[in-house]
Amino acid sequence: MRYDYASDNTSGVCPEAWAAMEAANRGRVPSYGDDAWTTRAADMIRATFETDCEVFFVFNGTAANSLSLASLCQSYHSVICHDQAHVERDECGAPEFFSNGTKILLAGGPQGKLDPAEVESVVTRRSDIHFPKPRVITLTQATELGTVYTPAEVHALSDVARRHGLAVHMDGARFANAVASLGLPPKALTWQAGVDVLSLGGTKNGMAVGDAVVFFRREFAREFDYRCKQAGQLCSKMRFLAAPWVGLLEGGAWLRHAAQANAMARRLAARLERIHDVQLIAPVEANGVFVEMPKSLADALMARGWKFYNFIGERGYRLMCSWETTDAVVDEFAAEAEACARALA
């Protein structure tokens, strides 16, 4: 089986993260985050965002999302997200679990992006005591459909949030891809656009394991260390969660890898688009290609050993690129797709 397009987490650890892990694997240092690697990684994240944010390192994105949402909510609150959102579809109820019952409310919007007017109507639909009180808007950047919110689009959502006293959370499992795509400073997509808390993805960017929680509004970070510990998310050998961030951020490897993944997605899309019967579902703005194709074509590719996932409906498929995807792998897949399509025509 070829797992090149199944997900961006089928790839390995990038050399920069690996080298940093190796460098961290020397000597004995304090545990539970009281070490120099953890301090340095947090400082580098603060420098990257050009603000004095609070930073915590956890093992994965589900923990980053659900614990940060829990820190923003009481159990009687609700969180508004897109109906395609990872927090709704792919976290097994962890946000509800860790917040002791906070309800998730769904809103729509084209191409995986929340529509501010829809969000506002969800927020204002009810204001009585019988309905869970809206408390947070969470948006995914880059989105689950491989699109990217512009700063103006993030602003429009945070405006709705501010008008109604809500906080703004960003699921940035692929935040690096969004930054590389827009070519803007990370602050322009986050705190300057009204984001209060960010789940910053490391795993899909090239780390072995680990995501970070970045609180731009520090008051929301109160006692977050206890929340992490209770949830089993306080790493005792924290230097190994922290050091890869140093490797990725130092010298800009995080953005180089994200840009590579994005470029490969664009290259793949350009080839696939030329095939009759293959249509893009959403513009390719990050590292995912979302296409509609006949099931027979997808089946033929899978029979040739390419693993990738059906995403929306019978004809919708998702092809993810990573920092490790090369021109050659794209061209190989595209040539096979062309051959399969010809054989089926």
Ligand X SMILES: *Cc1c(COP(=O)(O)O)cnc(C)c1O
Q: Which residues bind ligand X (CB under 6 A)?
A: 60-62, 65, 86, 140, 144, 171, 173, 203-204
**Measured from the CB atom, is 71 or 140 closer to ligand X?**
140
**Measured from the CB atom, is 164 or 307 closer to ligand X?**
307
In the complex, the smallest distance separating the C-beta of residue 196 from ligand X, rounded to whole angstroms, is 17
In the complex, the smallest distance separating the C-beta of residue 86 from ligand X, rounded to whole angstroms, is 3
For the beta carbon of residue 116, count every other beta carbon within 10 angstroms. Answer: 19
- For the purposes of burial, counting CB atoms within 10 Å of the CB of 173, is it exposed (0-12), middle (13-18) or buried (19 or more)? buried
In the complex, the smallest distance separating the C-beta of residue 275 from ligand X, rounded to whole angstroms, is 26
In the complex, the smallest distance separating the C-beta of residue 62 from ligand X, rounded to whole angstroms, is 3
**Measured from the CB atom, is 275 or 289 closer to ligand X?**
289
In the complex, the smallest distance separating the C-beta of residue 345 from ligand X, rounded to whole angstroms, is 34
**Measured from the CB atom, is 172 or 337 closer to ligand X?**
172
**Measured from the CB atom, is 35 or 233 closer to ligand X?**
233
Q: Report the residue number whose CB is nearest to ligand X.
A: 61
**Cβ–Cβ < 8 Å for 278, 293:** yes
HSE-up of 234 (CA within 13 Å, CB side)? 13
Region for residue 111 given its phi and psi (left: phi exceeds 0; alpha: psi -120 to 50; beta: otherwise)? left
Using DSSP's 3-state secondary structure scheme, residue 201 falls into: strand
**Alpha-carbon span 166 to 123, nearest angstrom:** 9
Name the nearest CA neighbour of 268 among 328, 225, 212, 186.
328
**Measured from the CB atom, is 112 or 116 closer to ligand X?**
112
**Alpha-carbon span 182 to 214, nearest angstrom:** 20
**Cβ–Cβ < 8 Å for 333, 306:** yes
Tokens describing residue 296: 């027979």
In the complex, the smallest distance separating the C-beta of residue 204 from ligand X, rounded to whole angstroms, is 6
In the complex, the smallest distance separating the C-beta of residue 211 from ligand X, rounded to whole angstroms, is 6
Q: How far apart are the first and last CA of the chain?
A: 25
Question: Beta 54-58 vs 133-140: how paired, if at all?
Answer: unpaired
**Measured from the CB atom, is 102 or 203 closer to ligand X?**
203
**Alpha-carbon span 62 to 211, nearest angstrom:** 9
